[in-house]
Structure 1
Amino acid sequence: MKYSHSRAGRQFLVLLLFPLLVVDLLFPLYSQPAYADSTSYPPGRSLQDIIDAAEPGDTIDLPPETYQGPVVIRTRVTLRGGGRATLINTTVDPAITILADGVTLQSINVQHDQDGKTTAIQVKANEVTLEGLAIHTGGYGIMLRDADRAKIIHNRIRWFIPQGQPAGERGNGIDLYNSHGSQIGNNEISYLRDGIYLENSRNTTVDGNKLTYLRYGIHCMYINGSKITNNVGEYNTTGAMVMGVTNVVVSGNSFAKQIRNVHSQGILLYDVRTSSITNNLVEGNRVGIYMEKSAENELRDNVALRNFIGIQLSQAAGNQFHRNGFIANVIDAEAVDSAENVMNGNYWDSFQGMDVDRDGISDIPYAINPFYQRLISRNSAYQLFFQSPGMNFLSDMFAGDKASGSVDQAPLMKLDTKAPIGAVRKDGTVMVTGWLLLFVSVITIIYLGVLRS
């Protein structure tokens, strides 16, 4: 049986549109939810008037308008913009100041035109929720001061320059001081100074954030008992800078392409104690993991991949390194004044070990040689001779007492499968595009087959 071109074309069009109709019916991603028990206001009222008229506990659905800031919230209310209400602030005051406990802001667009130490949203109250906000700011994005148990989730924060104005001083995306027990998750922050800055803010969870084109993706100072997990940082000066902390977990993060500065690192640990750094992937950075003046920490199941220096230690003693993988780095490791670290069962791909009893562990230890690092610290011009035959010869001659340095007594002959070398940063857009391309390809093959029949 033969089909005409027009009939075949109609069948092709039906086949092409049917899956899209099914997706639209099953996944109404862009429809606005219907809220119950909320108050709607007619267009034209100022946002401050709307807030001032609310009773404690009220939920306010804003009309899809553009409002002028600044505004101050002194009553426990829920303010929802449905993704279409926009607040523009051109003053040096915060676009939104929250002074009441339990306030919730959802799906509001905030544009803050000022730079420097000014901020789009300032929180000075407890148990505040900021969710689904789109913030464009010339200064800071969200600033918390003495505000405990906040929930800051699913927000997008970017640097913004008003048209015709010069670039000013950038602030941090999310900035916490003396604000404990907060949850900061699944935010996207880019082009500001530091993505997430935490100081003197204990028991804080920073999870699943995406941080790009910043100085420090995550900057932590004195945040004891906190967790930094499952974050992705790319194209920053440093992925995560963790300083002056105890009992902190840094796990499941991916920091790649931190190469914008000669001092760029994937993870920087300074004065860190009794903390756990596990299952992280540091890839394509100048230094994968840099540790200084830190002790009694556990580094386990991390992978340093394609960095200039995989791991660099300075005055770091008494730490434990187990099942880490160092792969395709220009220099696997450097250590200066870093004795009495326990290294067992790490994989060093540049190390030629010997496994006589075939137990998967080299019978020859791997020693981190500090000669090159000490030499260039005295005269940086010697970096020109990196990996030269003469430099390698001198390194072997002046290796010194390996027993007093950092030595892996039982290096692995192959990478432990528990290390996160197979970690893939999932991008929903890429996955959807791939499936659509596959679908179009299959339909095209079917269509061409019908025309030939």
Structure 2
Amino acid sequence: MKIMHYIMFLLLLSFCMPAVSEAASTLQSKIDEAPKGATIEIEEGEYEETVVISKPVTLEGTGKVLLRSCGADPVVTIRDKGVTLKNIKVEHCGDEKEDTAIYVTGSNHILEDINIETKRFGIRLDNANDVAIQDSEIVGINRGNGIDLWKSNRNKFENLNITNVSDGIYLEQSNENTLRENNIQKSRYGMHLMFSNDNILDENVSRANTTGTELMESKRTVVSNNKFSSNNNSVNAQGLLIYLASDTEVTGNEFISNRVGIFIEEAENNRLDSNKIMDNFTGVQFLKSNGNKAVNNTFVGNVNDAQAIESSNNQVDRNYWDAASKVDVNGNGESEIVFTADPYFLTLTADVPEYQLFFQAPGIILLQNMLKSPAEQLLIDSAPLMDMTMEVEKEQSSSFSLWIMSAVMILASFSLFILGRKRR
């Protein structure tokens, strides 16, 4: 009997040993044991744990690696300096307000080839500087920001795909960051800058969001070579919103099929130069904004090219307007006929939305010519260009989508008109 008990004890001990060994080799223990500068390779598999990296090491997945947690802590926390995270999928399934997949502070970190699924925040940078995040993907459920910056400077975000989040990339009090070649879709704001200065937004695509990009109380932002398209799923939608911002350079961008291409509100000393503004309901709109410049832009296929309300001191010159009458007497490439954008129809429909039923009706055009808007609401280009400043010949103006947008507005107005009659 004693021998049998002894054998059973040994067998039981042998079954327990692997579990003890496995517990001793968690990812966190490997990180803690690794010397500075080491590369820690994670074998393919799923890991239900959170990790904290507080020294300069590289954590790299080999094959398909998933780190997953539903707890209150971030799945990955990065601190100090010089951490590299590569080829890892991170999933945070918690649904509390502050839940975050990856939390970053410190400086000089690199995140590359990271795939994130989150119910709240994707990556949060808190007082993090000189961080590079590239070649990665973030997918959410519209309850938290994809990448969220707080007092974080000189960071670079390149080649990121971000979908279904609140704000794709959100910056607050964060300066000198570069956002380049990112693709952001189906979110509230594609890129959202607040109280953040000297940032660069270059060659990004912001599509099918409520607002492609908002710049709020931010200075010296460079917005160049981006594409803002189909940001039209709300009555407040626009490609680019410049609000209380100044010294912004908007150059070489495409604004296509948005509700409003560029909306400038209570903003001064901003420059729009050489942009393609095509197939929007309203191309550019100024509201209580003065001292801005719009030059060398191409306006094609917009329902309303431009509107200015309480914005009389803006310089609008040498733009191409497909709706303008063009006569070039001296051959200098400028039309002798001044182009005037009158917001009469938009002002009329703002008070009575049902009047959208009469868009482009002869009676409305006659009224607009007879009852002109006040001078301060007129946007005047004294030297409209004869030729386009940007290539659009190879693209078909998406008149179909524009007609769909107009038809939806007309149907909505017609429904309001019918409901109004029934109530009487």
Report the TM-score when normalising by structure 1.
Answer: 0.78
How many angstroms does 1:47 deviate by? Answer: 1.1
Q: 1:131 aligns with which of 112, 116, 119?
A: 112
- The match for 1:104 among 79, 84, 96 is 84
Go from structure 1 to structure 2 and tell me whether the alpha carbon gap of 1:423 and 1:118 turns closer, same or farther (over 3 Å shift).
farther
Q: Contact 1:69–1:96 at 8 Å: present in 2 too?
A: no
5 Å-filtered alignment, 1:321-336, equals 321-336=294-309
2:133 aligned with 1:152 = yes
Question: How many Å apart are 1:422 and its aligned residue?
Answer: 7.0
Match of 2:75 among 87, 95, 101: 95
SS in 1 for 2:139: strand
In structure 1, what residue type is equivalent to 2:222? V
Matching of residue 60 in structure 1 with residue 40 in structure 2: yes
Which residue is equivalent to 1:399?
372
How many residues align? The count is: 373
Candidates 328, 333, 342, aligned match of 1:369: 342
Gap change, CA 1:420 and 1:47, over 3 Å in 2: farther
Residue 35 of structure 1 aligns with which residue?
none
Q: Distance in 2 between matches of 1:108 and 1:381?
A: 53
Asked if structure 2 preserves the Cα contact closer than 8 Å seen for 1:336 and 1:374, the reply is no
Shift of 1:378: 3.3
Task: Give 2:324's aligned amino acid.
Answer: F
**Residues 180-199 of structure 1 correspond to what in structure 2 (within 5 A)?**
180-199=153-172
**Could you say what secondary structure the match of 1:114 adopts?**
coil
The residue type equivalent to 2:325 in the other structure is Q
CA distance in 2 between counterparts of 1:420 and 1:96 reads: 46
CA contact (8 A) 1:43 1:65 kept: no
Q: Does 1:82 align with 2:62?
A: yes
Match of 1:431 in 2: none
CA offset at residue 43 of structure 1? Answer: 8.0
Matching residue of 2:318:
345
Provide the secondary structure at the position in 2 that maps to 1:117. Answer: coil
2-structure distance, mates of 1:264, 1:340:
25
Q: 1:142 to 1:83 in 2, by over 3 A?
A: farther
Aligned mates of 1:83, 1:196 — CA distance in 2: 28
Change (3 A) 1:145 1:409: same
Matched to 2:112, the amino acid is E
Does the C-alpha gap of structure 1 residues 400 and 260 become closer, same or farther in structure 2, counting only changes over 3 Å?
A: closer
Name the CA distance, whole Å, in 2 between partners of 1:179 and 1:291: 26
Between 76-85 and 178-187, report the one with greater CA deviation. 76-85
CA deviation after TM superposition for structure 1 residue 376, in Å: 3.1
Counterpart-to-counterpart distance in 2, 1:360 and 1:94: 59
Matched to 1:312, the amino acid is: Q
Moved more, 279-288 or 109-118: 109-118
1:142 and 1:175 in contact (8 A); partners too: yes
TM-score (norm 2): 0.84
Of all paired residues, the percent bearing the same amino acid is: 37
Alignment partners' CA distance in 1, 2:286 and 2:370: 21
Per-residue CA shift, 1:117-139, capped at 9, x if unaligned? 21100012112111110111111
1:357 aligns with 330
Q: 2:103 matched to 1:122?
A: yes
Summarize the Cα distance change of 1:333–1:282 in structure 2 as closer, same or farther, 3 Å threshold: same
Alpha-carbon distance between aligned partners in 2 of 1:248 and 1:422, rounded to the nearest angstrom = 30
The CA distance in 1 between the partners of 2:394 and 2:61, in whole Å, is 37
* Structure 1 residues 420 and 314: CA distance shift in structure 2, 3 A: farther
Could you tell me which residue of structure 2 aligns to residue 415 of structure 1?
388
Relative to structure 1, is the Cα distance of residues 286 and 298 closer, same or farther in structure 2, using a 3 angstrom cutoff?
Answer: same
Residues 421 and 49 of structure 1: CA distance in aligned 2, closer, same or farther (over 3 Å) = farther
Following TM superposition, by how much is the alpha carbon of 1:317 offset from its aligned partner in structure 2, in angstroms?
Answer: 1.1
Distance 1:343 1:325 in 2: 12
Matches of 1:237 and 1:371, distance apart in 2: 26
Instruction: Give the Cα separation in 2 of the matches to 1:404 and 1:208.
Output: 37
Alpha-carbon offset, residue 305 of structure 1: 0.9
The whole-number CA distance in structure 2 between the counterparts of 1:114 and 1:297 is 42
Q: Does residue 221 of structure 1 match 2:202?
A: no
State the shift of 1:366 in Å.
0.9
Cα distance in 2 between the residues matched to 1:326 and 1:271: 25
- Note the residue ranges of structure 1 that are not aligned, 5 or more in a row: 1-41, 161-168, 425-453
Alpha carbons of 1:294 and 1:80: their partners in 2 closer, same or farther (altered >3 Å)?
same
CA drift at 1:287: 1.1
Distance 1:82 1:408, change over 3 A: farther
- Partner SS, residue 106 of structure 2: coil
Matched with 1:381 is 354
Aligned equivalent of 2:219: 246
